Amino acid sequence: MADGARDPSDSPEEVGGEPCDLPEAPEEARREPWVLGKIHRKVDAMERMRGITRYTDDLKLPGMLHARILRSPHAHAKILGIDASAALAMPGVFGVVTGQDFKIPYGIIPWTPDENALAVDKVCHVGDGVACVAAVDEDTAIAACRAIKVEYEPLRAFFDPEEALKSRDKALTINPYSRKGNLSKHVRLEFGDVDGLLDGSDVVIEGEYFFEGTTHGAIEPHCAVALVEPNGILTVWSATQVSHYLHRELAKVLQLPPHRIRVIQPPLGGAFGGKSEPFDLEFCVAKLALQTGRPVKLLYTREEVFYSHRGRHPMKMRYRTGFRRDGTITAVDAKTILDGGAYSSFGLVTTYYSGQLLCAPYNFQAYRFDSTRAYTNKPACGPKRGHGSVQPRFAIEIQLDKAAVALGIDPIELRRQNDIGPGTRTVNEFKVGSNGFQECLTRVEDASGWKTRRPALPYGQGLGIAGSTYISGTNYPIYPNEMPQAAVQICLDRSGRARIFSGANDIGQGSNTMLAVIVAEELGIPLDDIRVLSADTDLCPVDLGAYSSRITLMVGNACLEAAQRLRRKVCESVARRWQVPRRRVVLAGRMAIDGQDPDRHVSSAQAFQWAEADHGLLGEVGSYNTPKDRHGDYRGGTIGASPAYSFTAHLAEVEVDAETGVVVVKKIWVAHDCGKALSRRIVEGQIEGSTYMGFGEALMEEHVVDPAHGGVHAGPSLLDYRMPTFTDTPEIAAMIVEAGDENGPYGAKEAGEGPLHSSIPAIANAIYDAVGIRLDRIPFSPPRVLAALRERAAREARGELPPHKPGPAPQGGAA
Amino acid sequence: MSGAAALLTLRVNGDPVEVAAPPHWTLLEVLRYRLDLIGSKQGCDKGDCGACTVQIDGVPALACLTLAINAQGRSVTTVEALGQGPVHPLLDAFDRHNAAQCGFCTPGILMAAEALLRERRAPVSRSEAATALAGNLCRCTGYTKILDAVVDASEVLSRGTGATAGEPEGGAHG
Amino acid sequence: MLRLPQFEVVAPSTVDGVVEALKVPGARLIAGGTDLLPNLKHHLDRPPRLVTLAQVSALRGIARDDDAKVLRLGARVTLRELSEHPEVRALFPSLAHAAGHVASPTIRNMATLGGNVNLDTRCRYVNQTELWRQGIGGGCYKSEGDVCHVVPGGKNCVAAMSSDNVPVLITLGATIHLVGPEGARALAMADYYHADGLRHTHARDGELTAELRVPYPEGPRRCEYVKWSVRNSIDYPLVSVALRFDLEADDPRSAITGAHVVVGVLGARPRIVGKLEGALGKALADPAVAKLVSEAAYAQCKPLPNVPYDPAYRREMIRVYTRRAIERMAAE
């Protein structure tokens, strides 16, 4: 940590406990947690705040060239020819690459390599990359892009997935590698007798939902820098959250052996899934650096970030949910169309996730889902925080709310009653371990005053509840292999410090701090004495990356294994010198302490020196692989299975202006079961950030193209893509629930994605409670809310519905 | 490829600086790419996100919408200035509250928040802080911890306890 | 990063020097830069020269002129200074309010009054990058093209006047004072705009805005500015209404002697709502006034799809926000 930053143990609030009352453990002495579960200064925050951390665009290399990508103004067109001669002739231009330089397709999912670094024969959306120029500066590169002549033959473009699927014209197949027309993926799975159980249900709720596309909006635009050293080693620095997969795809597309490539992820300015696969810029800078022999940098404009996208898929969902009169869910039948955009991205997985991840926290007796992903002429969709399941969660939770009304059951009670519980299997055969969902519900119910306040709120004000679950990593890696999913290497040195080498990508979520907390806890040293070196393929063991909320559980477990091995060595060496059993040695407070005689202690540095004298250099590795008994025994049954599941409940309070349709979310209570909060405030921050992101999707965000104007993005800027500001965001009360899981390090599960899901339906359900309208599509924009209010008013006027709430009548729209 | 560079004379973080920059360069470009003051960030290109917020003569301004030439003769303060010397109470509060996640928007927010606290010289409420920071987007935090930190720092500053934020001077393990 | 096109910058230190420097054809003035620079980054114009006001020490003040009974607002006063100035707050609360709600706090620190009254008209099909505009077929009247995407077949540009302050200044009877090669002149703000999004003010080539003068209130009155934007900060307004009611006495129950309502974000010219005579003589607190005025605004204002969000919705909101503003004034 930078100078001046202080150790958390300075503050009483943050103190790691002195060892006391040490119970005799069979293996070794345990003690109160030293740093675990407390509040920590992050290991890397101070440098970031002081402005000295080098993010990718902060890198500057001697002789560095600047690159720009020429992009397509057409949503769908054949490329008849590219003439870059004028560009190449410009002074200051060092190189131009086109799709012809990148004919090997790639894809983050090995089964669907269906994109090229630059368009080869055709462009598939406005903003598709066509050529890339490296020049002495950005202005020159831009001028050179302008000088490149591209001849296009425009083709009919598809912006609606169902229309795209209907097209039988092979010439209009959007994706150049697709073998099934515009069908990207279809999954249909059925568990149990869905039709029979629905037929026998007392109530069947039917609904159609539409979840609009949204995007990540990390404040740091994508950026990459490439350098080729005289020995031919290619180094690529990239703002990526998946260094390892980038490494693999670079090797494939550039046809270089992996050991000739080094990928480094510098500190990252946010990702949220938007940087979880290779992008055109990484291939382009690499190729241009190889070609020109000079380092090359490419920084996206904000517009390009929108074109790269890989954000939330728009989904059109039809749901039928059956209930018995007592509220028990019988069966769920879901049919979903996913609007995939031009490429597969993670789409194969998204299509599975849209069905597979929904079988908790509620017990379905039978379940069927039929999900179809279509290619369209839009920026490709992919994984955004809560990959694949945020959209169906929206539908399911509103279905439940509708059922609660139909059955006259309290919506929290209905959820409680259908909770699948801990230690069980879902209808799609996933093994669920720990489950704190009941406590989540109770915490938000109590904190919000649901029982007393909800019945008393007047027309226009309401409370809504929703629940959800999410994975802590997936049981199987993206490419099949038998090797560990995570690995960590730790070295201790004579000064009493630890160095952690981890391939994991800290994307701002705090994973480096999480690793430091584990090592600090095990070795009794403060976070200040720990260096985390991460996400450098030359220095660190392979890690698969920051996605699927896998890092805390998987990398945490690997780290814990290595740290415990070191702790045993250190304790052993100390014990030998004190001539006491090893279990009496406690590591805490930057000391090794005799648990039975706390006056006897040495510094950590001394203890490490003794251990180094005994064992040689103190280095250990730890690996983690997933348990293989968690998934279903059917085709696709591994996709979505996780070692452990988190659970969340959101409770939103809203105020609806019935005359303008403006919805104000006043407060959101959220309780999240993360198993064990290794660092409390970081976990709270994940819960708050997730909740906020869902709130933005619910109320204002829309990542859409304009079919009437050639398929241009409706507004690829942070002015037109409206992300909530400080003054829009509701108060968020985050509560941590800890149902520890046997598969997590110290019981820990994920916290970074789960707490987004139910944020959105909780707001929808609160709007219903406030004014009696169902908003089955996002965002809940004022015009849409007002239209729904009018529709309800008309039905009330026709006598089809009673007034929603007693009290003052709703105001009419007219002044 | 740029027009005739102009020689600018300005103060940056208290130091007199002379730097040559093409006329169409923004202050952000000069800070980042000429002076290597990389703390001010480029997020949106055009004044929509606030990540490039610096102070010009003590007033928060968007460096991406300031022509470098317009800073001629003025005093520019970037986040690097807050990081010099003893830990600033704002940085300390942000650190204690985990108010920086990815940290990319943080320098801009710190510059806006520092101006607020310097002008108020009194504890600020959450809503006052939110109003003052409403030109800065953060995508990680949901703003909650940032507001916690700004309010906390305003209390520390008005108590006059200085940079130690109520904790013992210096780090035991620093 | 979006790059600015290349230009030269000159920095005169006097207003005369600015006028001289602006004689280069196509030269553009830059003050706060919050409107001009995004537009230049979008390559909506390629001026050979920018004339910066950064070194001009004049044009910065806010001063009472008790002889002329006007408050003089220098063009380089920032929106923040305007919103916080005690005289402005006391005499013209609706102006202070409007200025204090433009975009974001940081923008208000930079943006000037002169820039804001000359804010270029905005349109969803214009304020985008060159690539984007190629995507819609090569721009429009206001950029590279020769069509209008808002009104198909339209013959002129209907980009929206999106300043928060302009409608207010018109209701307050402000005048705008220009300086140019042919000397100084003044225009009523009500006459400064016309319905051409390409050139929506009557400023002539080479003229700069020196100051705004706002007449002191001559009697009791109530003024308001109301806007709706999706977010509470950063956004441009999507509904924007300024109101002023002169009263016989300092009491909303007293009779209205003058009514001024101006609506922004329609086309290139703000709409001065007419036919408000029916409100004269009635008490501001009379519900009939709120109804009459809001219906008049609704009838006379027809938002276009030149900015996001359904025009029909925005039109209705003009009525709702107008009525509510009057109700609020009546309740005070």
Report the 10 Å Cβ neighbour count for A448. Answer: 21
CA dihedral A70, A71, A76, A82 (to 10 degrees): 0
Backbone angles phi, psi at A328, to 5 degrees: -65, 130
Pairing of strands C183-188, C256-264: unpaired
- Shortest Cα distance, chain A CAs vs residue C141, angstroms: 16
Q: What pLDDT does C332 receive?
A: 82
**Nearest by CB: B107 against A51, A271, A695:** A51
> 3-class DSSP state for residue C282?
coil
Interface test with B, best of C52, C104, C112, C130 (most B CBs within 10 A): C104
Let me know how long chain B is.
174
The answer to whether residues A415 and A400 touch, using CB atoms and an 8 Å cutoff, is yes
For residues C86-103, one letter each, b for 16 or more C-beta atoms within 10 angstroms of the residue's C-beta and e for the rest, the string is: eebeebbebbbbbbbbbb
Peptide bond into A779 cis (omega under 30): yes
- Tell me, what's the ipTM? 0.97
Interface test with C, best of B57, B65, B77 (most C CBs within 10 A): B65
Report the 10 Å Cβ neighbour count for B100. Answer: 30
Q: What pLDDT does A805 receive?
A: 87
Do the Cβ atoms of C6 and B134 come within 8 Å?
Answer: no
* Tokens 């069947």 -> residue: A204
Chain B, nearest residue to C34 by Cα = B65
User: How would residue B165 be classed by pLDDT, with cut points 50, 70 and 90?
Assistant: very low
- Shortest Cα distance, chain B CAs vs residue A73, angstroms: 20
Q: Which of residues 709-748 of A touch B (CB under 8 A)?
A: 717-719, 723, 725-727, 729, 731-732, 734
Do the Cβ atoms of A301 and C129 come within 8 Å?
Answer: yes
Report which residue type is found at A70.
L
For residues B73-87, one letter each, b for 16 or more C-beta atoms within 10 angstroms of the residue's C-beta and e for the rest, the string is: ebebbbbbbbbeeeb
A370 forms beta bridges with A188, A335
* Contacting subunits of C (3+ beta carbon pairs below 8 A): A, B
The answer to whether residues B94 and A45 touch, using CB atoms and an 8 Å cutoff, is yes
**Nearest by CB: A724 against C137, C231, C295:** C231
Q: From the CA atom positions of chain A, what is the Rg in Å?
A: 28
Do the Cβ atoms of B62 and C50 come within 8 Å?
Answer: no
Q: How far is the CA of C113 from the CAs of A346, C55, C169, C227, C267, in angstroms?
A: 49, 17, 11, 18, 21
Which strand (E) or helix (H) includes residue A671?
Answer: strand A663-673
Report the 10 Å Cβ neighbour count for B127. Answer: 11
Q: What pLDDT does A2 receive?
A: 36
User: How would residue B173 be classed by pLDDT, with cut points 50, 70 and 90?
Assistant: very low
More confident position, A145 or B168: A145
Report which residue type is found at C235.
D
**Nearest by CB: B135 against C1, C30, C234:** C234
Do the Cβ atoms of C33 and B70 come within 8 Å?
Answer: yes
Do the Cβ atoms of B172 and A10 come within 8 Å?
Answer: yes
CA-to-CA distance for B116 and B126, rounded, in angstroms?
12
Q: What is the mean pLDDT of residues C166-176?
A: 98
The full DSSP string for A35-96 is: STTB----TTHHHHHTT----GGG---TT-EEEEEEE-S-SSEEEEEEE-HHHHTSTTEEEE
Q: What is the mean pLDDT for each group of 10 consecutive residues in chain A (815 residues)?
A: 36 36 47 94 97 97 98 98 98 98 97 98 98 98 98 98 97 97 98 98 98 98 97 97 97 98 98 98 98 98 98 98 98 98 98 98 98 98 98 98 98 98 98 98 98 97 98 93 96 97 96 98 97 97 95 98 98 98 96 96 98 98 95 94 98 98 98 98 98 98 97 98 98 98 98 98 98 98 98 97 75 41
Helix axes A347-356, A390-407, angle to 10 degrees: 20
Strands (E), C173-267: 175-180, 183-188, 208-215, 221-228, 239-247, 256-264
The full DSSP string for C129-178 is: -HHHHHHTTS--TTTT-SS-SSSTT-SS---B---SHHHHHHHTT-EEEE
Residue B92 has pLDDT above 50, yes or no: yes
Residue A344: exposure state from Cβ atoms within 10 A (0-12, 13-18, ≥19)? buried
The answer to whether residues A577 and A610 touch, using CB atoms and an 8 Å cutoff, is yes
Chain B, nearest residue to C33 by Cα = B65
Do the Cβ atoms of A138 and C1 come within 8 Å?
Answer: yes
**Contacting residues of B for C234, CB less than 8 Å apart:** 48, 134-135, 137
Q: From the CA atom positions of chain C, what is the Rg in Å?
A: 20
Strands (E), A72-160: 77-83, 93-98, 122-123, 129-135, 149-154
Do the Cβ atoms of B33 and A11 come within 8 Å?
Answer: no
Which residues fall within 8 angstroms of residue A441, CB to CB, at 6 or more apart? A412, A415, A416, A419, A465, A467, A649, A671
Residue B148 has pLDDT above 60, yes or no: yes
The answer to whether residues A222 and A237 touch, using CB atoms and an 8 Å cutoff, is no
Residue B39 has pLDDT above 50, yes or no: yes
CA-to-CA distance for A655 and A769, rounded, in angstroms?
10
**Nearest by CB: C232 against A126, A302, A727:** A727
Which strands sit side by side in the sheet containing C256-264, from one edge to the other?
Answer: C221-228, C239-247, C256-264, C271-272
